[in-house]
A and B are shown apart, each in its own frame.
Chain A
Amino acid sequence: MSLRRQTYREALREALAEALRSDDRVFLMGEDVGRYGGCFAVSLGLLEEFGPDRVRDTPLSESAFVGAGIGAALGGLRPIVEIMTVNFSLLALDQILNNAATLSHMSGGQLAVPLVIRMTTGAGRQLAAQHSHSLEGWYAHIPGLRVVAPATVADARGMLAPALASPDPVLLFEHAGLYASEGETNGAAVGLDGAVVRRPGTDVSLVTYGGMLPTTAAAAERLDTEGISAEVVDLRSLRPLDADTVLGSVRRTHRLVVVDEGWRSGSLSAEVAARVAEQAFYDLDAPPERVCSAEAPVPYAAHLERAARPAVEDVVAAAHRTTG
């Protein structure tokens, strides 16, 4: 397929349509995915093409429809379950942790749960504390799950097919701030376990994922104008974590800044920093830095929300601290 320019939302929609078209075991279910077209308009038009059996509107029963996705996967289907936001996914946490992530191991390998759960994450649209959090790091804590965070249009387009091909449950986090972003894709599949260097550099490694990639890339641009060559690493997969790519980058630059929209304490950024400290301590020329969200529920007021999230200048300042 040739390179085409589209939005992140269109890329997700095209990936869904392709999956529904190519495998009759695939179906999409969730709140308002059908007639409404998805609360972020990702699934707009899919009901018309694939019908109400395969683009299934559900009641507001997160635990029931996520668990039904697990059961349907056990029963031989390839469900894609959409949860409106990660905050709402907490209503289904029992199903995700105690069933989806656990059944294979607890049954001695008899059962597999080939389920894909898509959900929105992140702040930036003044939706306040119950629609804006970044809890993907919690899910990345759980053995048995695969957790991915497409940050680009190409990843949004290319991660669904491998996720559906996986025999294990895959959680796909879509940052709300990315839906309207534009980029190029040739439609190719994107593997689920590999981090990628988005921008090569020599002086400091900026490690990030998902919705923080644009912020981090902008920080790298600004650092460049200041004579600091920043390498940007996009984790893409939060579980498993591609430590090799991160360590390789740090061994080249000798400095680490982790940019994570989650809260700092007990976060994914802590995991990345710990791995680097454990495995590349003597390659570091400066203590690792972390840029995370303020340790408060995300507030409504625009200036407070802005202050709560990692900003370009925060990343630049952290990079400066490592380069002295």
Chain B
Amino acid sequence: MTTAPETTPDPLPDAEELPEDARVGPLRAMARIRRFEERCVELYSAERIRGFMHLCIGEEAVAVGLMGALADEDAVVSTYREHGHALARGLPMTSVLAEMFGRVTGCSRGRGGSMHLFDAGRRFYGGNAIVGGGLPVAVGLALADAMRGRSAVTACLFGDGAVAEGEFHECLNLAALWHLPVIFCCENNRYAMGTALEREHAQTDLALRAAAYGMPAWPVDGMDVEAVALAAERAAAIVRAGAGPCFLELRTYRFRAHSMYDSDRYRERAEVTRWKERDPVDLLRERLVAEGRLDDERWTRLVAQVDEEIEDAVLAAEAAPIEPVEDLERFVYSEPS
């Protein structure tokens, strides 16, 4: 049993004394996602979280590098593997976890769960669980921004599996044809559920395929958050300038199985181990330590702060109310505001 937050003594009295190096920010954000999802595994095993749950452990650099390059007025369309995207976009951890607990305080009132996190105020248009299904919506959001003369861009996240869907090709064509401000962000983790990239694509160079639609497209080291951030900033600048869409192939890897139901029989352990050698959290942490920007003490403190936030979110979710059953059919149609 965790102590209630109001009685927790501050274990880090000097946490605010030294300003944090700007390059530690992304490390903190990645560690926050990592520790959050590791806690989610425990909560899933304890049956506090149910349904499908897809973890992005190993892919945190994509979420953090990309979201850091976006402005508040930009829009995000994501997939069912979106805990990291949501947290990095700024959705409060309390509302994300409450959602996974099925509570009315959740960011979708408990109607969506892990796969369908929404936050209209932060222009976070969900967690779409139909592979490829978010791309047309992203094109439309960008169309609205373009037609209204707004400078916003829409970041559309999807996996390598979506590249095999017809909607991918329809949408890249349409966005390029109409010069729409979309950053197509392909989170290539090399597996469409259990089917490896080379077993699902005749041409596995996904950036090459996107380039065929006449847009700038390039591969990015998706394990290096600083490389992702640079690429995302460059893409956002191109798109915001009105040059039409861009495509980023963010080459990454999920360390965990596809979902909590997946026994992960389709890949070699050695492959997973090899990718873990380029763990995005370790990669940046070691780089910052080598450059003298971080030491063990600060790292320990950072992790403790993150863990405290997570435990607070767990307590809040446990205590949160559920939606009354009488409200089941609310919002099938809009309510007068």
A310 within 8 A of B: no
Q: Is B130 within 8 A of A167, CB to CB?
A: no
In the complex, per-residue mask of A172-199: 1 if CB is within 8 Å of any chain B CB, else 0: 0000000000000000000000000000
Residue of A nearest to B142 (CB): A71
Determine how close the nearest CB of chain B comes to the CB of A299; give it in whole angstroms: 29
User: In chain B, residues 87-128, which have Cβ atoms closer than 8 Å to a Cβ of chain A?
Assistant: 106-112, 116, 118-120, 125-126, 128
A109 to B130, CA, bound (A): 20
Q: Is A67 within 8 A of B135, CB to CB?
A: yes
A58 within 8 A of B: yes
Q: Is A71 within 8 A of B109, CB to CB?
A: no
Question: Which segment, of A99-107, A122-130, A222-230, faces chain B?
Answer: A99-107
Residue of A nearest to B136 (CB): A67
Q: Is A99 within 8 A of B333, CB to CB?
A: no
Q: Is B139 within 8 A of A111, CB to CB?
A: no
How many A-B Cβ pairs are below 8 Å?
148
Q: Is B334 within 8 A of A68, CB to CB?
A: no
A83 to B144, CA, bound (A): 20
A64 to B213, CA, bound (A): 15
Report chain A residues within 8 Å CB of B120. Answer: 107, 110-111
In the complex, per-residue mask of B133-155: 1 if CB is within 8 Å of any chain A CB, else 0: 10111111111110110000000
Q: Is B111 within 8 A of A67, CB to CB?
A: no
Q: Is B170 within 8 A of A59, CB to CB?
A: yes
Report chain A residues within 8 Å CB of B145. Answer: 75
B200 within 8 A of A: no
Q: Is B334 within 8 A of A59, CB to CB?
A: no
A167 to B335, CA, bound (A): 9
Q: Is A143 within 8 A of B332, CB to CB?
A: yes
Report chain B residues within 8 Å CB of A111. Answer: 118, 120, 125
Among A72, A94, A110, point to the contact of B118 (Cβ < 8 A). A110
Report chain B residues within 8 Å CB of A59. Answer: 170, 173-174, 177
Report chain A residues within 8 Å CB of B106. Answer: 108
A265 within 8 A of B: no
Residue of A nearest to B117 (CB): A107
In the complex, per-residue mask of A31-64: 1 if CB is within 8 Å of any chain B CB, else 0: 0000000000000000000000100001101011
Determine how close the nearest CB of chain A comes to the CB of B279; give it in whole angstroms: 33
User: In chain B, residues 239-283, which have Cβ atoms closer than 8 Å to a Cβ of chain A?
Assistant: none
User: In chain A, residues 80-130, which have Cβ atoms closer than 8 Å to a Cβ of chain B?
Assistant: 94-95, 98-99, 103-112
A58 to B110, CA, bound (A): 37
Q: Is B148 within 8 A of A71, CB to CB?
A: no
Q: A104 with B112: in contact, given A58-B174, A72-B143 (CB under 8 Å)?
A: no
Q: A68 with B108: in contact, given A104-B332, A108-B331 (CB under 8 Å)?
A: no
Task: Give the contact-size bracket for chain A.
Answer: 35 or more
A105 to B109, CA, bound (A): 9
Report chain A residues within 8 Å CB of B9. Answer: none
Q: A67 with B331: in contact, given A53-B147, A110-B118 (CB under 8 Å)?
A: no
B11 within 8 A of A: no
Report chain B residues within 8 Å CB of A58. Answer: 174
Residue of B nearest to A144 (CB): B332
Determine how close the nearest CB of chain B comes to the CB of A33; give it in whole angstroms: 15
Q: Is A74 within 8 A of B170, CB to CB?
A: no
A98 to B132, CA, bound (A): 12
Q: Is A110 within 8 A of B140, CB to CB?
A: no
B13 within 8 A of A: no
Report chain A residues within 8 Å CB of B166. Answer: 63
Q: Is A105 within 8 A of B332, CB to CB?
A: yes
Among B125, B147, B331, point to the contact of A104 (Cβ < 8 A). B331
- Interface class of chain B by DSSP: mixed
Q: Is B177 within 8 A of A106, CB to CB?
A: no
Report chain A residues within 8 Å CB of B147. Answer: 27, 53, 72, 77
Q: Is B333 within 8 A of A72, CB to CB?
A: no
Determine how close the nearest CB of chain A comes to the CB of B117; give it in whole angstroms: 9
Report chain B residues within 8 Å CB of A65. Answer: 136, 174
A69 within 8 A of B: yes
Q: Is B126 within 8 A of A103, CB to CB?
A: yes
A76 within 8 A of B: yes
Determine how close the nearest CB of chain A comes to the CB of B9; give it in whole angstroms: 36
Q: Is A75 within 8 A of B111, CB to CB?
A: no
Q: Is A107 within 8 A of B112, CB to CB?
A: yes
The winner among A27, A67, A167 for most chain B CB atoms within 10 A is: A67
Q: Is B144 within 8 A of A71, CB to CB?
A: yes
A10 within 8 A of B: no
A31 to B331, CA, bound (A): 32
A20 within 8 A of B: no
Q: Is B137 within 8 A of A74, CB to CB?
A: yes
A63 to B136, CA, bound (A): 7
In the complex, per-residue mask of B72-93: 1 if CB is within 8 Å of any chain A CB, else 0: 0001010000000000000000
Residue of A nearest to B121 (CB): A110
A170 to B273, CA, bound (A): 51
A127 to B106, CA, bound (A): 50
Q: Is B141 within 8 A of A71, CB to CB?
A: yes
B167 within 8 A of A: yes
A235 within 8 A of B: no
A94 to B132, CA, bound (A): 10
**A-B contacts besides A67-B140, A107-B116, 13 pairs, CB < 8 Å:** A58-B174, A61-B173, A61-B174, A64-B170, A64-B174, A65-B174, A67-B136, A67-B139, A94-B167, A95-B133, A95-B136, A104-B333, A108-B331
A-B contact pairs, 30 of them (CB 8 A): A59-B170, A61-B170, A63-B167, A64-B171, A68-B136, A68-B137, A71-B77, A71-B143, A74-B140, A75-B75, A75-B140, A75-B143, A75-B148, A77-B147, A79-B140, A95-B133, A98-B128, A98-B133, A105-B111, A107-B108, A107-B112, A107-B116, A107-B118, A107-B331, A108-B331, A110-B108, A110-B118, A110-B119, A112-B334, A168-B334
